[in-house]
Structure 1
Amino acid sequence: MTPGDLAGLADDLAATVLAVPGVVRLNGGALGEIGTYLPGRRVAGIRLADPDRTGPTEVHVVLRADAPLREVAEAVHLAAAARLTAAGAPADVRVHVDDLA
């Protein structure tokens, strides 16, 4: 994948995850360490798997405190996996619920 392909996929995946009801925001970590690093910017909360090796894509989210956590996390997983599959990327996804808001 080229940097442009990665940027498009990271942006699309972020939008897909944020569209799931119950998701408040993506979480880039306490020090901003969780993200996909691109030329000149990063997509916080989305760590794409390296296409040249095995490993999961990580999605870090903050959910609404009143949301059904397991159901929302599963919806995030399914939406992210579908988006990755549509892009021809490995659909191995790990969803991390980092906080509630």
Structure 2
Amino acid sequence: MKKGFTGVAFWCLVVAAVLLSEAHETAAVTCNPMELSPCMSAITGSSAPSSACCAKLKEQQPCFCQYMKNPMLRPYVDSPNAKKIAETCGVATPTC
């Protein structure tokens, strides 16, 4: 059961990051939602996001609109923890 919860929580983070981040055009970014795994403990618990989490959110910003188009990721975007993480990291809401 815990493994399933962890997977769902991770996808919640990924989708939330998509909605909460402004997309910027940047060359050579590999769009992979698994890159956001440093944020897992913040999304599943009440801990603050690490500097690695914030760095990955900012790095993946050019991909957020793409993630929004994915029906498996999009439902998790409105997670309260994901919104809090994005705000803490200084990542803005995307305009897709």
TM-score, normalization: structure 1?
A: 0.36
Q: Which has the higher helix share?
A: 2
The structure with more radius of gyration: 1
TM-score, normalization: structure 2?
A: 0.37
